[in-house]
């Protein structure tokens, strides 16, 4: 056994597991595009066109947490999907010929939980880290992309008010 096959139940398809993790990562990125669209729209609203010239107004851009909105839901949903995957892997040993009793009699008592929970726990951590990184990148885009005169007065507080 090599690669991912030793971390998933016997009989589970390693290619399917890899695709599921990749799909979760892509879902987090795709859903985060909602923030980018909202931010670009809000930033464009800071400008007016007078006489064919684009001018910056004195409006304040919406707070970061309002613009972020549903931007991280893809990461959170992918992390929650790992709970379902863990349950599915656990239940695989109660069906077909993969006996749960055989798994419990193995010399290593941690083999059963390791095979059922390793990939879901890894995936959950991976998606939460992805959400944290996207949150930081989104705030960096907000902070550096908005003219300083148009930022709300408590922008740094807005970063942590999400939590």
> What residues form DSSP beta bridges with 49?
54
- Give every residue of the chain whose pLDDT is below 70, as ranges: 1-2, 96-104, 155-163
pLDDT at 97: 59
Q: Is residue 3 part of a domain?
A: no
pLDDT in tens, 134-163: 999 999 999 999 998 998 887 666 566 655
Q: Is residue 80 part of a domain?
A: yes
pTM of the model: 0.83
Give the residue among 19, 41, 3, 38 at the shortest CA–CA distance from 138. 38
Separation of alpha carbons 32 and 73, rounded Å? 8
pLDDT at 114: 83
pLDDT at 55: 92
Q: Is residue 4 part of a domain?
A: no
| Three-state secondary-structure class, residue 88 | helix
pLDDT at 1: 46
Q: What is the total count of domains within the chain?
A: 1
Within 8 A by CB and 6+ apart from 90, the residues are 116, 117
Place of tokens 């991976």: 126
Give the residue among 29, 23, 6 at the shortest CA–CA distance from 133. 29
Structural domain boundaries, residue 36: 9-160
pLDDT at 10: 76
Q: Is residue 1 part of a domain?
A: no
Place of tokens 């959400």: 131
């Amino acid at each position: 056994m090599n690669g991912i096959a030793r971390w998933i139940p016997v009989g589970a398809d390693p290619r399917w597991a890899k695709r599921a993790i990749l799909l979760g990562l892509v879902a987090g990125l795709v859903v985060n595009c909602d923030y980018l669209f909202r931010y670009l729209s809000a930033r464009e609203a800071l400008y007016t066109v007078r006489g064919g010239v684009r001018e910056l107004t004195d409006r304040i851009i919406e707070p970061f947490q309002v613009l972020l909105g549903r931007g991280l839901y893809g990461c959170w949903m992918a992390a929650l999907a790992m709970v379902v995957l863990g349950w599915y892997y656990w239940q695989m040993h109660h069906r077909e010929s993969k006996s749960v009793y055989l798994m419990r009699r193995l010399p290593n008592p941690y083999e059963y939980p390791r095979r059922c929970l390793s990939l879901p726990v890894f995936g959950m951590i991976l998606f939460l880290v992805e959400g944290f990184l996207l949150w930081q990148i989104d705030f960096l885009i907000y902070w550096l992309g908005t003219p300083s005169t148009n930022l709300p007065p408590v922008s740094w507080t807005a970063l942590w008010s999400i939590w």
